[in-house]
Amino acid sequence: MKKAHLNFWQLWNMSFGFLGIQFGWGLQMANMSAIFEYLGADAHHIPILWVAAPLTGLVIQPIIGNMSDHTWGRLGRRRPYFLVGAIFSSLALILIPHSSTLWMAAGLLWVLDTSANVSMEPFRAFVSDLLPEDQRTRGFAMQSLLIGIGSVSASAFPWLLSHVFGVPSITVSQEQKIPPTVEISFYIGAALFLGTVLWTVLSTKEYPPEDMQAFKQEQAKHGGLTNSFREIRTALQAMPLTMRQLAWVQCFTWSGLYCFFLYFPPAVAHNIFGATHENSPLYIQGIEWAGICIAAYNAVCIVFSFVLPQLAQATSPRLTHSFCLLCGAAGLISLIGINNQYLLLLPMVGVGITWASVLAMPYAILVGSLPPERSGIYMGIFNLFIVLPEIFISLGFGWVMDHLLDNNRLLAVVIGGGFLIVAAILMQRVEEVVPEEVLEVVEIPEKSVVRT
């Protein structure tokens, strides 16, 4: 079937749900470690409390990828997963600010991550489903743009509520452990998550299988939960060489980024603002400022993503990704010498450059090596190399914090920079298979830019 070219607003509609999904992720990344500390967690407890996130990704992403490859119903192939995941993610976002114990918060994080993975995983395959080959890069570029918008707004939202809208950031009673600014942000995140995904579900149609009888036969053979495990095993055995090499890069990249995500907000509160207790005004101010820093690196990510394809074209995707990883490593390692909140914004430039490349370059290199008919399952498997190192960090880094780092949160972030250096070195052994259409001009109203 020949697929129609979509205009800018059709591309926007089909990816709009990503904005809400990323808003939910952004709230989680900027606030969950602080929520755990509000509820009494020590620094060495944080990794194990986060273990829900990578564990759900390990199980959910490849299974959902394969199941959505072999689904067709009234809502189509991918959209049922978008909608179900959004409903449960929104409920979890509403309930998290009402957590009264650590394990309640950890359990709700588990629900949130499981549901968000159900929504998010099919979105990558949605692009290859609906767009002709010469428009797929535009589809991924639109997703990256909406990821950036969602991340910036979610990270900065508690600070904006406090400093612009006058919402109190200090809890008013002993029973209320989560600041009102965080609580309201999570409610708005729930509405955005469900609302934007509903927009995509209602505004975008999917192509039905050309031969429904043949599709049903394939569905019976390869679909479903039991068949998914067999398909994952088969796909792992047939994994392309480029994907195997990129797997090592991803493992060290996400080990470094995970250290940053886990410990950067509480590190800012304790090491930069000097907070000694989680209920002190200095702690809350530090967490809010960490949100501004996270928003800053996501803003840099949006801007640098316009430059990234030109840099890759002038050098190579492999060299470009190594350079970008080293920028992030320099940013994280430089934090050890900073004691001023405003100077924290400078390292965020390096982190933003890394984040722009992480969102684009591995996928741009990977796509040329994958069989199109198995894109969903391979995208899910590729994400295993994100969650496996996160599980390793979650299970083992608490001991490192307690016995080697004296619970120094800032040192944990600096170690993340060391992981990024290893990833940059490993990137140089990756054999690139990049199709011609990976770099192209993307039309955006009032300007044309090159995107990956």
Q: Name the packing angle between helices 375-382 and 224-237 (round to 10°).
A: 70
| Cβ 191 vs Cβ 19: under 8 Å | no
Q: Which residue do the tokens 């996928």 mark?
A: 363
Q: What is the pLDDT of residue 132?
A: 78
CB distance 364 to 317 below 8 Å? yes
Which residue positions in the chain have pLDDT lower than 70? 1, 70, 136-137, 171-176, 209-211, 214-228, 368, 371-376, 433-452
Residue 119 contacts residue 17 (beta carbons within 8 Å): yes
* Per-residue exposure over 328-348, b if at least 16 CB sit within 10 Å of its own CB, e if not: bbbbbbbbeebeebeebbebb
Q: What is the pLDDT of residue 18?
A: 87
Instruction: Using alpha carbons, select from 37, 57, 46, 45 the residue that is nearest to residue 389.
Output: 57
Per-residue model confidence (pLDDT) at position 170: 74
**Distance of alpha carbon 128 from alpha carbon 104, whole angstroms:** 38
Give residue for tokens 């909608």: 83
Specify whether the CB–CB gap between 318 and 432 falls below 8 A: yes
CA distance 400 to 444: 47
What pLDDT, on the 0 to 100 scale, is given for residue 441?
32
- C-beta separation of 256 from 249 below 8 A: no
φ/ψ (deg, to 5) at 442 = -105, 130
The reported pLDDT for the residue numbered 375 is 61
The whole-number pLDDT of residue 89 equals: 95
| Ramachandran class of 274: left when φ > 0, alpha when ψ lies in -120 to 50, beta otherwise | left
pLDDT at residue 196 in the model: 94
How many CB atoms lie under 10 A from the CB of residue 407? 16
Angstrom distances, CA of residue 72 to CA of 80, 190, 196, 219, 220 = 9, 27, 22, 9, 12
Please write the tens of the pLDDT for every residue from 402-418.
999 999 999 999 999 99
Q: Residue 131, class by beta-carbon neighbours within 10 Å (0-12 exposed, 13-18 middle, 19+ buried)? A: buried
Residue type, 116: A
Amino acid at 253: T
Spatial CB neighbours of 424, under 8 Å, sequence gap ≥ 6: 321, 322, 323, 325, 326, 329
Domains of the chain and CATH, by start: 8-451 (1.20.1250.20)
Instruction: Kindly report whether the global pTM for this prediction surpasses the value 0.85.
Output: no
